[in-house]
Amino acid sequence: MKPNLQSILFEGDEDLTKIKYNLETDSAFSITPAMSVLYPHTDHPFTLRYFPRKLKSYHSVLQIVLENIPELPSLQKQNGHHEHGEIQEEDVIALEIDIKGRTEPFQLLLEPYLVVIPGEHYIGVNIRRSFRMHNNSKSSVRFTWGKISDCDILEVQPYSGKLGPNELQDFELILSGGKPGHSIHALPCKISHCAEPVILHVEADFKVRSRFGSPVLFGSSSESFGRTGTESSPPHQSASVNCSLQNGL
């Protein structure tokens, strides 16, 4: 029920049945079991559950209603039911419980929240970087990482899961460039029951691999295979010189 916040001034014998109650249709509270039998001289356990769906404060009133309770003899006589031998039964509100609850945003932290990959990397080559997510909230969260495949390819492993209160999760970012130049991306992570996603920012530079492969340089620009001066090697005789190759990458 919605709480009745109207001030009631009792003057003499006030009729409590005139108090209006409005049914709560968007309550974050529920109680289990909702219906049961109360046996005499016995404790009956109930579970109150709080499950907010919006970022706001909640205030409700739980009522314990006893069904089919016979009227008191004095009331039966007053209403004329006693003379005709009738027993009038009605539902009675035996107890009201005022309950309140508030909500707060999820407290999630990425470490680091910005991944900057230094240097230039060839397009089409996978780059892997590790990062973490801390859940500083009071409840568990379910996460699902998005994927970017427009030219550059970005994805996270594991891409989905559940993170408990005050827990952390290790992730691996996999990035592959699709075009040369400086790339900036914002990779979203959807959190259940949260309007705004968590964002991982990524920056990297890419370059094109040489068409002819890695550049190779000779240790010397020229070598002479003569013996001395302008003399040439005679036919059918071999000559050798030493040289070196340098990988330009």
Q: Which domain holds residue 84?
A: 16-102
Q: Which of 71, 70, 60 is nearest to 96 (CA)?
A: 60
- The 10s digit of each residue's pLDDT in 59-70 is 888 888 888 878
Q: Please check whether residues 123 and 201 belong to one and the same domain.
A: yes
Q: Please check whether residues 131 and 183 belong to one and the same domain.
A: yes
Contact status, residue 143 vs residue 133, Cβ threshold 8 Å:
yes
Contact status, residue 99 vs residue 29, Cβ threshold 8 Å:
yes
- The 10s digit of each residue's pLDDT in 65-101 is 888 878 766 655 555 555 555 667 777 887 888 889 8
Q: Please check whether residues 121 and 157 belong to one and the same domain.
A: yes
Q: Please check whether residues 98 and 112 belong to one and the same domain.
A: no
Q: What are phi and psi for residue 102, nearest 5 degrees?
A: -130, 160
221 located within any domain: no
Q: Please check whether residues 140 and 97 belong to one and the same domain.
A: no
Specify the CATH number for the domain of residue 158: 2.60.40.10
Confidence (pTM): 0.60
Contact status, residue 144 vs residue 160, Cβ threshold 8 Å:
yes
Domain boundary pick from 56, 72, 102: 102
* C-alpha triplet 52, 157, 180: angle, nearest 5°: 120
DSSP strand pairing (245-247 vs 216-218): antiparallel
Rounded to an integer, what distance in angstroms lies between the CA atom of residue 186 and that of residue 189? 10
Q: Please check whether residues 93 and 114 belong to one and the same domain.
A: no
Q: Please check whether residues 94 and 140 belong to one and the same domain.
A: no
Q: Say whether the peptide bond before residue 234 is cis (omega within 30 degrees of 0).
A: no
Q: Please check whether residues 115 and 80 belong to one and the same domain.
A: no
Contact status, residue 107 vs residue 153, Cβ threshold 8 Å:
no
Q: Please check whether residues 117 and 197 belong to one and the same domain.
A: yes
Q: Is the pLDDT of residue 34 over 70?
A: yes
Rounded to an integer, what distance in angstroms lies between the CA atom of residue 78 and that of residue 73? 9
Q: Please check whether residues 23 and 93 belong to one and the same domain.
A: yes
241 located within any domain: no
Give the DSSP per-residue string, 105-128.
---EEEESSEEEEEEEEETT-EEE
243 located within any domain: no
27 located within any domain: yes
Total domains, the chain: 2
Q: How crowded is the C-beta side of 152, counted as CA atoms within 13 Å?
A: 25
- The 10s digit of each residue's pLDDT in 197-225 is 999 999 999 999 866 555 444 455 455 54
Q: Please check whether residues 145 and 201 belong to one and the same domain.
A: yes
4 located within any domain: no
Distance of CA 228 to the CA centre of its chain: 79
Rounded to an integer, what distance in angstroms lies between the CA atom of residue 145 and that of residue 158? 8
Q: What pLDDT, on the 0 to 100 scale, is given for residue 176?
A: 95
How much of the chain, in percent, has pLDDT values that exceed 90? 39
Partners of 170 in beta bridges: 132
Domain boundary pick from 70, 102, 134: 102
What DSSP designation does 76 have?
H
Q: Please check whether residues 147 and 94 belong to one and the same domain.
A: no
